[in-house]
Amino acid sequence: MVVFGSFISLAGLLILLFRTASLGGLSPAVVGWVMIPLGLVFVVLGVLRNRRKRAQKGPGPVGNPIQRAKALPRLWKVWRSGNYPELPRSQVVMWAVALVYLVSPIDVLPEFLPVIGVTDDAGVLVWLLSSLSITSGSFLRWEKDHRDPSRGIESP
């Protein structure tokens, strides 16, 4: 979220400095002055979220990005069987909504708006990928904790 917010603020600053033509009927000054504080809000929220997560000191997700990607089919299978209650149904619904939003031709901010038009899609994509990564890392931790080494199988 910090990186996304920084990107939005930087894009707003660049629009203020270098853009002279209107953006979808809006003045570049208006667009820039809206994007800069909006990006800063995302940065502050991201910093606060990171601090809160560090303060919880619980076991974090494990695995590198490739291991996490490979764990997604197992995660789906175990969740569908009802053996992984840590993944709420609402999270899966949000992933589905994000996928539909990314592939649908209807956008909150149309693509014909330079810079701004793709930021909503980029934001949804970044959220989706980071959410999948964190969840699959947590699933890997759960898998590791629920294995019975004496029998070589997962415990119920």
Q: Does residue 82 share a domain with residue 7?
A: no
- pLDDT reported for residue 113: 67
Q: Which of 56, 73, 99 is the last residue of a domain?
A: 56
- The number of folded domains in the chain is 2
pLDDT of residue 151: 42
d(CA 128, CA 4): 13
Cα-based distances in Å from 70 to 25, 32, 80 = 45, 41, 17
Predicted local confidence at residue 114, as pLDDT = 65
97 and 34 in a common domain: no
Alpha-carbon distances of 53 from 1, 5, 10, 152, rounded to whole Å: 13, 19, 26, 33
- Pair (80, 141) in one structural domain: yes
Same domain, 91 and 139: yes
Instruction: Return the pLDDT at 76.
Output: 94
Whether the pLDDT of residue 156 is over 70: the answer is no
pLDDT of residue 153: 46
Domain boundary among 36, 56, 76: 56
Q: Quick one: which H or E segment has residue 40?
A: helix 28-56
pLDDT of 136 above 70? yes
* Host domain of residue 111: 65-149
Reported pTM: 0.60
| pLDDT tens figures, 2-23 | 877 888 888 888 888 888 888 7
Residues 25 and 73 in one domain: no
Highest mean pLDDT: which of 26-40, 65-79, 137-151?
65-79
